[in-house]
Amino acid sequence: MNSEPLLEVEDLDVHFGTEQGLLGRFFGDDSVVRAVDDVSLEIGEDDVVALVGESGCGKTTLGKAMIGLQEPTNGSVRYRGQDIWEARTGESEIPYSKIRRSLQMIHQDAGNSLDPNRTVFENLSPALKKWRPELNLVERRELVQTMLETVGLTPASDYASRYPHQLSGGEAQRTVVVRAMLLEPDLILADEAVSALDVSLRVNMMNLLLDLQDMFSTSFVFISHNMSNARYLAGKADGRIAVMYLGRIVEIGPPDEIINNPQHPYTKSLIWATSGLSEIDEPIESPPLREIDVPDPEDPPSGCRFHTRCPEAREACTEESPELTPVGETPRHEAACYYARDDREYWNSDPLPGLEGESGGGSERDPRSAGAD
């Protein structure tokens, strides 16, 4: 990975106001969903990050903000040093059109993003016409067919003249991937790009994305609620897994570390929920959670947002939200958890009611009992 980041997300918030009606507004009840809250993340050249977390934790919102499709409430996203939203709204060193072309997205529902009344070539050609005006029709056709061949849609001339309804789900998805790749982007956001496919096609599709990533050195952000897929994609590409919970990244690191040496209790619960994932999997009957229900994102818990479900939670966790900090020996492994970093204030505070004396309270890791400072 090159040292200069391709994308820098800094202190990013994306908050959505919710419809309250006249009465709610009159009484000042302006509820806000903090879909993304204080997220910082760097994506390098030729870098791969798999973003995982439960439904509604903010993965798509963060992804869209990263490629300029969602306006931040606070904070910034910079592409090669240029603030994307400043570029969009005014003067900039890198024109917004260049940024737009460089940051592409592949949606889950490929079929719907193709025009049903146009052939594959006609679906793919307009973007080329716009962004590669130097190419004539013959050259555009050649390029489209070469890319169709690259993704295994052969004979390419046959596929180029098909209509979307003549494609299977996997073929439509490959067509959408070609459309994104034709623009030679620096980064592709693949939002649940394989989850709509049959299980048998998923691995093929993931392998294709990895091959393209390798061939063109394109950076990828894969959004997935599935830890196995995240591990496969980030593992093969020597990338990272970022775990999101209620708008925040709570742990990030190399896939082997995240899976076999998770530090955040939420990551542990995700791994628990995915059978056969961890090499150190010990059969635990019940989920490593105090509370199954996810809190209301309009009214998230104070302090660490996971504290209401966390088996390691102490009073300190209800007061302040821990920052992502390096954990363990492995570079690039960070967790936002007091327990993971043997925080003194945490260990000096009381376990939450109902957790006193439980094994989950982590007393055997208490650095005070080990004589740590």
Ligand X SMILES: Nc1ncnc2c1ncn2[C@@H]1O[C@H](COP(=O)(O)OP(=O)(O)OP(=O)(O)O)[C@@H](O)[C@H]1O
* Strand pairing report for 325-326 and 334-335: antiparallel
The region of 56-64, 75-83, 99-107, 127-135 touching ligand X under the rule CB under 6 A is 56-64
Is the CB of 214 or the CB of 299 nearer to ligand X? 299
Binding to ligand X (CB under 6 A) within 297-336 occurs at: 297
Is the CB of 160 or the CB of 189 nearer to ligand X? 189
According to CB under 6 A, which one of 1, 10, 13, 16 is a site residue for ligand X? 16
180-201 b/e with 16+ CB inside 10 Å = b? bbbbebbbbbbbbbbebbeeeb
264, 314 Cβ separation under 8 angstroms: no
C-beta neighbour count of 333 within 10 angstroms: 21
According to CB under 6 A, which one of 60, 102, 123, 213 is a site residue for ligand X? 60
Lookup: tokens for 249: 């990244």
Rounded to whole angstroms, the Cα distance separating 63 from 260 reads 26
Lookup: tokens for 248: 């925040």
Rounded to whole angstroms, the Cα distance separating 353 from 317 reads 13
According to CB under 6 A, which one of 33, 105, 227, 249 is a site residue for ligand X? 33
Cis, peptide link before residue 155, omega less than 30° from 0: yes
Q: Does 35 bind ligand X (CB under 6 A)?
A: yes
Minimum distance between the CB of residue 103 and ligand X, rounded to whole angstroms? 17
- Tell me 111's DSSP state: G
161, 121 Cβ separation under 8 angstroms: yes
The region of 52-60, 199-207, 314-322, 341-349 touching ligand X under the rule CB under 6 A is 52-60
Is the CB of 53 or the CB of 253 nearer to ligand X? 53
Minimum distance between the CB of residue 33 and ligand X, rounded to whole angstroms? 5
Minimum distance between the CB of residue 229 and ligand X, rounded to whole angstroms? 13
Lookup: tokens for 258: 């995240």
Minimum distance between the CB of residue 73 and ligand X, rounded to whole angstroms? 12
Minimum distance between the CB of residue 279 and ligand X, rounded to whole angstroms? 27
291, 269 Cβ separation under 8 angstroms: no
Binding to ligand X (CB under 6 A) within 195-254 occurs at: 225
Is the CB of 58 or the CB of 185 nearer to ligand X? 58
According to CB under 6 A, which one of 56, 169, 295, 360 is a site residue for ligand X? 56
Site residues (vs ligand X, CB under 6 A): 16, 33, 35, 53, 55-61, 225, 297
